[in-house]
């Protein structure tokens, strides 16, 4: 007579489930760290690829470096195509790299750790408009707002050094930038007049930071991406990891009236996040000493 197969008791099942739960709790953080490490590495690779793109653009356009910010807020240093409802249609800043046909892999302009669809590649609120056939209406006409948001901008996923201003001013609005004051190269004077328009040459920027993971909304813009720091591209072509603690400066002995770590979280969270009162917290080389998170990133160049 065959003896019946004995099943697991409830206690045994609970023990097995408990062991699995413990193993998951141990392994999951390790897996998450490994996943983020891979994304951080890909992000750094993106910046190195962009360094090559800058070099190619410089060969074609006399070493011009099309980085900077739009209008008056230095936090808005991520626009590629300015086609909002209240502004004229125009490609601007690093959008010139795409217009020159140099962004064959446009994902290099976007960090894989980014969670906000406004700064991800080709979402319905951030349409990549540079490689469509026929040309995408966002690139050639005033198309009005994207669904669910109040503009039709195309943004990249990184911040550029806000050392040049692209705005509705000068001889070629949005196309020819105003070079902001710097003691390191020929620029607009410290008093602001006469204004110097043109493009900075990469050689002038030397070892300054020119691109980085988002830093325009204070520490929270860092913590929602790579948590502990940012990847930074320098004008020398070097791309490197920079720890948050090296530029957060919460205990600055001479704090700015509106320091970097107090900037509100960002688009869609606080409309004051791009207030011009935070310009000095991003970059102002006319201050003595110069101020801003980009100055701190410069100091980390190796």
What's the rounded mean pLDDT across residues 140-152?
71
Instruction: Band the pLDDT of 101: cuts 50, 70, 90.
Output: very high
Name, in order, each residue with C-beta under 8 angstroms of 55's C-beta and a sequence gap of 6 or more.
Answer: 202, 237
Q: State mean pLDDT over 54-71.
A: 96
State residue 136's pLDDT score. Answer: 81
Show the 3-state SS of the chain: CCCCCCCCCHHHHHHHHHHHHHHHHHHHHHHHHHHHHHHHHHHHHHHHHHHHHHHHHHHHCCCECCCCEECCCCCCCCEEEECCCCCCCEECCCHHHHHCCCCCCHHHHCCCCCCCHHHCCCECCECCCCCCCCCCHHHHCCCCCCCCCCCCCEECCCEECCCEEECCCCCCCCCCCEECCCCCCCCCCCCCCCCCECCCEHHHHCCCEEEECCCCCCHHHHHCCCCCEEEEEECCCCEEEEEHHHCCCCCCCCCCCCCHHHCCCCCCCCHHHHCHHHHHHHCECCCCCCECHHHHHHCCCC
197 or 135, which is more confident: 197
Q: With contact defined as beta carbons under 8 Å apart, do 94 and 190 qualify?
A: no
Q: Would you state the pLDDT for residue 294?
A: 97
Which has the closest alpha carbon to 210: 158, 151, 251? 158
pLDDT digits over 221-278, tens only?
A: 999 999 999 999 999 999 999 999 999 887 787 789 999 998 988 765 666 778 899 9
- Average pLDDT on 187-204 reads 95
Predicted pLDDT at 138: 81
Residue 150 confidence class, pLDDT cut points 50, 70, 90: low
Mean pLDDT value of segment 199-204: 96
Question: With contact defined as beta carbons under 8 Å apart, do 119 and 107 qualify?
Answer: no
């Amino acid at each position: 007579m065959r003896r019946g197969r004995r099943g697991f008791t409830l206690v045994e099942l609970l023990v097995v489930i408990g062991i699995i739960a413990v193993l998951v709790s141990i392994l999951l953080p390790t897996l998450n760290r490994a996943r983020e490490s891979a994304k951080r590495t890909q992000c750094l690779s993106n910046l190195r690829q962009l360094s090559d793109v800058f070099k190619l653009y410089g060969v074609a356009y006399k070493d011009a470096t099309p980085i900077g910010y739009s209008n008056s807020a230095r936090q808005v240093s991520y626009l590629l195509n300015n086609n909002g409802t209240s502004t004229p249609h125009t490609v601007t800043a690093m959008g010139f790299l795409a217009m020159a046909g140099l962004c064959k892999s446009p994902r290099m302009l976007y960090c894989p750790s980014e969670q906000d669809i406004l700064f991800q590649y080709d979402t319905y609120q951030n349409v990549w408009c540079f490689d469509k056939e026929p040309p995408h209406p966002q690139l050639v006409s005033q198309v009005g707002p994207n669904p669910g948001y109040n503009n039709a901008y195309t943004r990249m996923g990184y911040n550029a050094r806000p050392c040049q201003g692209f705005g509705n001013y000068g001889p070629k609005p949005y196309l020819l930038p105003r070079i902001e004051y710097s003691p390191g190269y020929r620029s607009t004077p410290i008093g602001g007049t006469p204004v110097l328009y043109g493009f900075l040459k990469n050689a002038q920027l030397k070892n300054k930071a020119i691109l980085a993971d988002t830093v325009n909304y204070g520490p929270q813009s860092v913590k929602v991406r790579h948590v502990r720091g940012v990847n930074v591209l320098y004008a020398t072509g070097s791309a490197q990891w920079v720890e948050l603690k090296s530029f957060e400066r919460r205990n600055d002995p001479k704090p700015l009236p509106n320091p970097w770590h107090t900037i509100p979280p960002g688009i869609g969270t606080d409309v004051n996040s791009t207030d011009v009162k935070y310009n000095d917290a991003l970059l102002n080389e006319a201050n003595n000493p110069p101020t801003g998170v980009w100055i701190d990133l410069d100091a980390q160049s190796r």
